[in-house]
Structure 1
Amino acid sequence: MPQPHIRIALPADEQELALLDRAAWSPLHAVLPAPRPPYPPFFDERHLPQDYLVAELEGHIAGYIRLVLSPLLPSAHVRQIQGLVVSDAARGHGVGRALVRAAVQEARRRGARRITLRVLGHNTPARRLYEAEGFVIEGVLPEEFLIEGKYVDDVLMGRAL
C-alpha cells in the first residue's frame, strides 16, 4: 500500500469525514453512544476544518487526526490530539502512525512546546502507537467512564516537542 498523503482538511471533506467517523465508531475509543440520525454536521464552530489533518490514500480519505489549541490561555503552548480515526481498510498500513507524526510536526509548526491526548485504558493498539511515537502516561483517571457495562480508565498522555 502506498504512503498516505497528509494535509489539512478542507470544508469540501465534510461528508467523507462524517461517513468515515460514523463507520469507525467503536466502544474501543468512543465514550459517546453510536451516532444515529439525524447526524450533526461534522464541522461546526468547535470543530473547524483547520483542526483536522487528513490522510489520503488513492484519492480517498483513509483517516484523520484532530489537533486543537488548549482552551486555556496559560496553556497556549500546548496542542491536544482530540481524535484519531483510521478506516478499517487502511488499518495496519501506517496511516495512524503517519497521522500522529504529522500532528507532532504541525503542533511544532504552530509554536507548541507540548502535545497531549487522552486515550481509553482498554484501547491497547492506540496506546502502543502513542508510546512508540514518544508519548508517555502522565496520569490515569481510574474507572472514569462506564462503557457498555464496564468501567474504563481515562489515560492522559503527553510529550515535549
Structure 2
Amino acid sequence: MGAMISIRTATAADDAAIVAIDDATWSPTNSPVSAPEGPRSAFAHLPTSDVLVAVTAEARVAGYIQWHNVFGIDSHAHVLEINGLAVDPALAGRGIGTALVEAAVAELGRRGARKVSLRVLSTNPAARRLYARCSFVEEGVLRGEFLLDGAEVDDVLMARHLPR
C-alpha cells in the first residue's frame, strides 16, 4: 500500500462515499443480497464506530471495512464478524484491502475479540486469497447456501484467532 493512504474510524460524512463504493463493487459473485437500489445509508444498521475507512491524501474514501457482533450475547462477545469490505475499483491492487483487514483485526483485538470471523462466497476467490494472506483460515463450508443466478453457491466460513 502506498504511503498516501491512511485508515480511520468512519464518520457520518463518509456515508455517500461508502454507498458509492458499494454500488461500484456489487456483483452476484461477491454478495448474496440483491443489487443495491435507491437512496440508503451505509450506517442504517451499524454505528460509524464499527466501520473503518481508508482515505487518500486528497481525503477521498478509497475503501471500507465493517464488523458486528453476530449474536449479541455475553458468551459470544469475544467473537466479532467482518461483514463488509470493499475498495474503490479505481484504487484496487494497491494493498488497501489488506491494510483495512489488518487495521480492523487490530481494532477488534483492542476491543477484546479473541476471534474474528467472516463469511465469503465460494465465487469470490480474490477475497478468499486476501483473507488467507491476512492469516484467516477456512473453518467450514455451507454447501449450496445461496442460489445466485440459478446456481448454488457455497458460503465459506473463515476466521482468525487472536492472541490473548
TM category (shorter chain) comes to over 0.9
Work out whether 1:35 is the aligned partner of 2:41. no
Kept in 1: contact 2:19–2:40 (CA 8 A): no
Instruction: State the TM-score, normalized to the length of structure 1.
Output: 0.93
**CA deviation vs aligned residue, 1:126-148 (integer Å, no higher than 9, x gap):** 00111111111101000100111
In the alignment, the residues of structure 1 paired with residue 119 and residue 35 of structure 2 have an alpha-carbon distance, to the nearest angstrom, of: 19
Aligned to 2:62: 62
Give runs of aligned pairs for residues 145-160 of structure 1, distance below 5 A.
Answer: 145-160=146-161
Amino acid at match of 2:2: P
Structure 1: which 5+ residue stretches go unaligned? none
Aligned equivalents of 1:127, 1:2: Cα separation in 2? 23
Q: How many Å separate the matches in 2 of 1:19 and 1:40?
A: 10
* CA RMSD, 1 decimal: 1.3
Which deviates the most, 128-137 or 19-28? Answer: 19-28
Deviations, residues 103-149 of structure 1 (Å, cap 9, x unaligned): 11001111111100000011101001111111111010001001112
Q: Distance in 1 between matches of 2:146 and 2:53?
A: 28
Which residue identity does 1:61 align to in structure 2? Answer: V
The within-5 A match list for 1:1-161 is 2-3=2-3, 4-37=5-38, 39-44=39-44, 46-58=45-57, 59-70=59-70, 71-161=72-162
So what's the TM-score if we normalise by structure 2?
0.92
Matched residues in 1 for 2:126 and 2:42: separation?
Answer: 25
Distance 2:13 2:28 in 1: 28
CA distance in 2, matches of 1:138, 1:34: 28
Runs of 4+ in 1 over 3 A off after TM superposition: none
Structure 2: 5+ residue stretches without partners? none
State the shift of 1:12 in Å: 1.2
Whole-angstrom distance in 2 between the partners of 1:81 and 1:72: 17
1:5, distance to aligned residue in structure 2 (A): 0.5
